[in-house]
């Protein structure tokens, strides 16, 4: 499974890339606004760090508007993927953009039927929002499993990006389901390698290490100096 980082923060992206744990990035207007930088400049800077797909989202809701924005976004970096809303107009734009070689990520997926339509339209990626479904007492991960089953049944090449991840368990469940990608917020990513028993074990080892007799340093007692 690939890891995308769901952030526009350059420092967080660099740290993940240094670990070899960042296969791509997803952004949205909220994440961009948090960085207080011009949209095009920020995406260009991200593209200097990340070689994988970078999802970029605009603010138009008509087919013509989405297509026009997408072509602008694509000039910012060659690895830009255009986020498209799961709407009638959005699906029309997906068909046009994919035929022109511009990859799309259909976002705000909340049902299997939406994911099926996006794949039929030719989307490169779909983003089911598991956390938001959990928030309203629905099973977000079941949506992921349903989408994967449908795609496997018919050989769709559309990749599933598990989005709206709230905790490390979401990432684990996405991996167990066989999702192609999990897009992980920086704070959740940082929690994935933490465990209180790991910390406790390390502290114990360090305390025991202090009790181990150490060899005398060279040039110290016993060396005739």
Whether residue 83 lies in the annotated active site: yes
Give the pLDDT confidence of 166-216 residue by residue, as tens digits: 999 999 999 999 999 999 999 999 999 888 888 889 888 888 888 888 888
What was the pLDDT predicted at 219? 67
Residue 158 phi/psi, 5-degree rounding, is -60, 130
Structure tokens belonging to residue 104: 């799309």
- The reported pTM is 0.90
Nearest to 50 by CA among 23, 15, 19: 23
Q: Which helix (H) or strand (E) holds 30?
A: helix 29-35
pLDDT bucket at 225, cuts 50 / 70 / 90 = very low
Residue 14 phi/psi, 5-degree rounding, is -60, -45
What was the pLDDT predicted at 121? 98
| DSSP secondary structure code for residue 172 in this structure | H
CB 114 within 8 A of CB 90: no
CB 207: neighbour CB atoms within 10 A?
A: 9
What was the pLDDT predicted at 220? 57
Residue-averaged pLDDT of the chain: 94
- Cα separation, 135 vs 126, in Å, equals 20
Q: Where are the beta strands (DSSP E) in the chain?
A: 2-6, 24-26, 54-57, 80-85, 104-109, 125-128, 159-162, 181-184
Tally of residues, the chain:
225
Structural domains of the chain, with CATH: 2-211 (3.20.20.70)
Exposed (0-12), middle (13-18) or buried (19+): which is 153, by Cβ within 10 Å? exposed
Structure tokens belonging to residue 137: 């007492």
The shares of helix, strand and coil residues in the chain, as percent rounded to the nearest 5, are 50, 15, 30
pLDDT bucket at 221, cuts 50 / 70 / 90 = low
In the predicted structure, residue 78 carries a pLDDT above the cut 90 = yes
Give the pLDDT confidence of 117-131 residue by residue, as tens digits: 999 999 999 999 999
Better pLDDT: 222 or 21: 21
pLDDT bucket at 68, cuts 50 / 70 / 90 = very high
What was the pLDDT predicted at 191? 93
Residues 8-29 have a mean pLDDT of 96
CB 126 within 8 A of CB 147: yes
- Cα separation, 27 vs 6, in Å, equals 6
Task: Say which of 83, 157, 176, 223 is annotated catalytic.
Answer: 83
CB 131 within 8 A of CB 173: no
């Amino acid at each position: 499974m690939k890891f995308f980082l769901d952030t526009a923060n350059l420092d967080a992206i660099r740290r993940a890339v240094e670990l070899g744990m960042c296969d791509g990035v997803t952004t949205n207007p909220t994440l961009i606004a948090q960085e207080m930088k011009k949209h095009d400049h920020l995406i260009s800077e991200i593209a200097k760090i990340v070689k994988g797909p970078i999802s970029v989202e605009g603010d138009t809701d008509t087919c013509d508007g989405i297509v026009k924005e997408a072509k602008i976004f694509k000039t910012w970096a060659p690895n830009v993927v255009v986020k498209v809303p799961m709407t009638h107009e959005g699906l029309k734009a997906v068909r046009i953009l994919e035929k022109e070689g511009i990859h799309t990520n259909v976002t705000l997926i909340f049902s299997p039927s939406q994911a099926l339509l996006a794949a039929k339209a030719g989307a490169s990626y779909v983003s089911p929002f598991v956390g938001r479904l959990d928030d309203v007492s629905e099973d977000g991960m079941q949506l992921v499993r349903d989408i994967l089953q449908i795609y496997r049944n018919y050989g769709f090449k559309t990749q599933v990006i598990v989005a709206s991840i709230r905790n490390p368990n979401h990432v684990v469940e996405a991996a167990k389901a066989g999702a192609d990608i999990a897009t992980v917020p920086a704070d959740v990513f940082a929690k994935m390698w933490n465990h209180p028993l790991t910390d406790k074990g390390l502290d114990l080892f360090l305390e025991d290490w202090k009790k181990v007799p150490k060899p005398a340093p060279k040039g110290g007692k016993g060396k005739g100096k």
